[in-house]
Structure formats: C-alpha cells, structure tokens
C-alpha cells in the first residue's frame, strides 16, 4: 500500500556451504516488499561475496561493527528490525548466540533485537545431533527464538542426513507469518504427535489415466511446517505432492484414497491430533483396466464409479479420548444451499472437532498461494480467516487445536467438545 512503512528484516548469513541458498531467500523476502539488510559473517563472505548481497537487496551490506561506527550499527540494526532471520545458521553461530557472545556484527544484532528471531540451521548431521548443539538449540528456543529443524537430504560430498538448510521458500513463508503475527509460532505443540494429510488422491482408470482433483498440497504442507515450527513431531501423509518436504517433518507418500486411509489410520494411533487437509476422492472407478483404454470411432466407454472409504468418519469413530480430529471441506453453492451451509451440514454429519471450510472455484483455495476459510467447531463457534498466506490459516488451525488438546499429564481427561465415548 502506498505510504505504508515496509517491514525491516535483517538477514544474517553465517559461513556454511548453504550460504548460496540464502540468496534465494533474500529474493523471496525483497519480492514480498520488505526492506532487507544483509549481515554476513566473515566466513559467509568466503562463500558469497558482498556485491551479491548488495545487488539482490538494494541495500548496503553491513559486515562488521567498525564500518560506519558513528551510526552504531550493532545497536541500530537489531533495535530497528521487525524480524531477524539467520539462514544458514552454523553450529558455531548457534553456540555463540546461545551463550550471548557478541564478537561480530551478527551476534551483536541478535543481542540487541527485540523482535521475533527465526533461525534456520544447516550443518552435517553429526554436528546437529551433538549434545552441545542440541543444548544450544534448546536454550535458544527457551528464550523464544524460533529454531527450525534442518531438512533431510544430500549434504556436502557423498553425505546424506538431517542437516540441509530448509527450503528457502519455506523459510520465507514462516518469516512472512512472523511479520504478520509475531505470536504465531509458540512452542505449544512440543511433545505432541500430529498427523497431517496433504495433496490429492488419484484413482486409477487404466495405466495412464486417473480420476483426481486440483489440490496442490500447499495447505497441508503449510500445516505440517507450522506444526513442526511449534514443536510437534509431525508426520505428513502426502498424496501426489510435488513440493519440497516441509522442514522437520516425516513424509509418507501415498497415491490413492485406499492407500491414504491405510497409512493415516496406522499413523493416527498414539497421535494427539489428526488434520485431514488432503482432498480425498469420494469416488473411484469400479473397474481398473489392465491396459490403456484406446480411443475408438464408437461411443466412449462408460465408467462405473463406486464410493471410497470415508477416512475422516473412520478417524472420528475410532478416536481416543483427547485426540483432536480436524477435517477440511471444499464447498461450492448449489440449489440446496450456499457453501457455508454445506460446511455446517458436513460438520454435523462428520462430528469432527473442527472443520475448515473453503469456498472453492474461480482461483480460490486450489493451486494458489493464498487461502481463506471459516473454521467451524463442534461447540458451535466459528472463526473466519481472511484471505492470506496458507501458513496464516495453518497458524489459526493450530491455535484452535492447541486449545482443545488435553494436558499431557491427564491421559484420562474428559472428552473434547463434540467427542463421544467409543
């Protein structure tokens, strides 16, 4: 909006091979309209030069406490920031930040910042798993710093494991969320196990064709990403999702509604919450052709359909006391009612704790970066979520889930609203 102050972001870059990926993160943040000042460490400049950061940010690059000393940059940058992001954060940087050291400009900024701080580590798996690093991460998290778990994948050389920098687009997604809502990523799901389904199932017609839907998996992955950032142990059951795995999330891939049902029901055992964000097919071809159905001059073949299993209804019927079950409903209006009326009817029939209702069509909900919804609760309350990034909707959903979770020390606590004894 014209005249509106741009958010001020400090992007700290420490000296790991993943420093080159921070250039992509910088572009994501600047293209979102934010004013970004890059503060690289001396070792980071061995991987990516100062000129690159200046060109991509359009701002002067601050490298040490002595440059422009009359402006006191070590105080001014941190105190004036709306958000500080450190990506990549090496084991050394985590240790210095946890112990309050201020031996370079970046650690000075971290000490003077009074805004949200988002840290994305990257290092070899052995370094991430070392007790010293784990203790430093725990210390930072206890002070309110959002520290992401690294992604799993290829590291330097032939090594593979947990230590990759999370996808820059995911870091940017969480950065935008913190700028919009600084309280969006508390550690309120620490110690919880949650299952999130994502994407759209495909029901085979023949070896080439299938019945599917337009779900990209973005909303489900946003839910998984935000839950992991809030401390949960997250399993994502992904149906045909082509996106990078969310950082810190265990991903299990499925194709059809039957496969999604089997994996989700198995993973739900012992989970504190299950969020069914995937678009699961309601019907599938009753007969799958063994070979490709050929085009012919005659009339096209008829396709007989049969219903798929109702996974959400099964999870609700089989849930244990205290488990929160969340459904999603993609609705349109028709002669029998508008989209929200259909959502309310679905909540009444499904009896889930929460139902997230999307008004779909005309570029809404599917295959887009933003979403709007009304979250219906079994107790009759309704929460409207305005159009915005899918991570923002995810944060609201987890707010509502966290409020309904039983205390961890009360396994026999009373059932949540809308829950029945089974």
Token pair belonging to 315:
């999870």
What percent of the chain has pLDDT above 70? Answer: 91
In this prediction, residue 154 has a pLDDT band, given cuts at 50, 70 and 90, of: confident
Q: Please check the confidence at residue 411 and state whether its pLDDT lies above 50.
A: no
pLDDT for the residue numbered 128: 96
pLDDT for the residue numbered 71: 58
pLDDT tens digits, 351-373: 999 999 998 777 666 777 788 99
Residue 213 bears catalytic tag: yes
**In the chain, where are the structural domains located?**
8-180, 193-292+299-404
**Would you state the CATH architecture of domain 193-292+299-404?**
3-Layer(aba) Sandwich (3.40)
pLDDT for the residue numbered 363: 67
Distance (Å, rounded) from C-alpha 118 to C-alpha 144?
Answer: 10
Q: Please check the confidence at residue 413 and state whether its pLDDT lies above 80.
A: no
pLDDT for the residue numbered 365: 64
C-beta atoms surrounding 257 within 10 Å: 25
DSSP character for 130?
S
Q: What is the mean pLDDT of residues 371-399?
A: 95
pLDDT tens digits, 177-206: 999 999 999 999 999 999 999 999 999 999
Domain 8-180 shares a fold with domain 193-292+299-404: yes
pLDDT for the residue numbered 295: 85
Q: Please check the confidence at residue 415 and state whether its pLDDT lies above 60.
A: no
C-beta atoms surrounding 317 within 10 Å: 12
Distance (Å, rounded) from C-alpha 359 to C-alpha 368?
Answer: 13
Token pair belonging to 295:
């085009």
pLDDT for the residue numbered 8: 95
Distance (Å, rounded) from C-alpha 113 to C-alpha 182?
Answer: 14
3-state helix, strand, coil in the chain (%, to 5): 35, 25, 40
DSSP character for 305?
E
Fold annotation for 8-180:
Rossmann fold (3.40.50)
pLDDT tens digits, 47-104: 999 999 999 999 999 887 655 554 555 578 999 999 999 999 999 999 999 999 999 9
Distance (Å, rounded) from C-alpha 263 to C-alpha 265?
Answer: 6
DSSP character for 361?
B
What percent of the chain has pLDDT above 90? Answer: 75
Distance (Å, rounded) from C-alpha 30 to C-alpha 33?
Answer: 5
pLDDT for the residue numbered 318: 83
In 156-248, at which residue ranges do the beta strands (DSSP E only) sit? 160-164, 193-199, 203-204, 210-211, 233-239
Q: What is the mean pLDDT of residues 256-282?
A: 95
Which one of the listed residues 136, 213, 358, 371 is annotated catalytic? 213
Q: What is the mean pLDDT of residues 37-56?
A: 95
């Amino acid at each position: 909006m014209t005249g509106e102050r741009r958010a001020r972001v400090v992007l700290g870059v420490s000296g790991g091979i993943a420093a080159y990926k921070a250039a992509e993160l910088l572009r994501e943040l600047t293209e979102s309209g934010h004013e970004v000042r890059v503060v690289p460490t001396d070792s980071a400049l061995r991987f990516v030069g100062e000129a690159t950061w200046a060109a991509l940010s359009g701002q002067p690059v601050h490298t040490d406490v002595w440059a422009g000393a009359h402006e006191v940059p070590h105080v001014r940058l941190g105190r004036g920031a709306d958000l500080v992001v450190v990506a990549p954060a090496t084991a050394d940087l985590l240790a210095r930040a946890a112990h309050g050291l201020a031996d370079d400009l970046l650690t000075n900024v971290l000490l003077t910042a009074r805004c949200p701080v988002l840290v994305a580590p990257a290092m070899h798996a052995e370094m991430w798993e070392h007790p010293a690093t784990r203790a430093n991460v725990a210390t930072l998290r206890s002070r309110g710093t959002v520290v992401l778990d690294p992604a799993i994948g290829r590291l330097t050389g032939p090594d593979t494991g947990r230590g990759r920098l999370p996808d820059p687009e995911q870091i940017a997604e969480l950065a935008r969320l913190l700028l919009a809502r600084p309280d969006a990523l508390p550690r309120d799901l620490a110690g919880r196990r949650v299952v999130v389904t994502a994407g759209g199932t495909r029901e085979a017609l023949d070896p080439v064709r299938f019945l599917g839907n337009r779900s990209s998996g973005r909303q489900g992955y946003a839910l998984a990403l935000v839950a992991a950032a809030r401390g949960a142990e997250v399993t994502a059951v992904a149906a045909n999702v082509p996106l990078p795995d969310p950082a810190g999330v265990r991903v299990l891939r499925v194709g059809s509604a039957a496969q999604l049902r089997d994996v989700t029901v198995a993973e739900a055992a012992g989970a504190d919450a299950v969020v069914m964000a995937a678009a699961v097919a309601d019907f599938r071809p009753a007969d799958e052709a063994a070979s490709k159905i050929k085009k012919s001059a005659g009339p096209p073949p008829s396709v007989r359909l049969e219903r798929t299993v109702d996974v959400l209804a099964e999870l609700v019927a089989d849930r244990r006391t205290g488990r929160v079950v969340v459904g999603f409903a993609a609705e349109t209006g028709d002669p029998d009612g508008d989209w929200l009326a259909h959502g309310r009817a679905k909540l009444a029939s499904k009896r889930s704790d929460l139902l997230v209702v999307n008004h779909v069509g005309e570029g809404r909900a599917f295959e887009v970066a933003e979403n709007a919804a009304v979250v219906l609760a079994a107790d009759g309350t309704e929460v409207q979520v305005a159009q915005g990034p899918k991570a923002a909707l995810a944060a609201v959903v987890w707010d509502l889930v966290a409020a309904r979770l039983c205390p961890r020390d009360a396994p026999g606590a009373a059932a949540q609203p809308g829950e029945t004894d089974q």
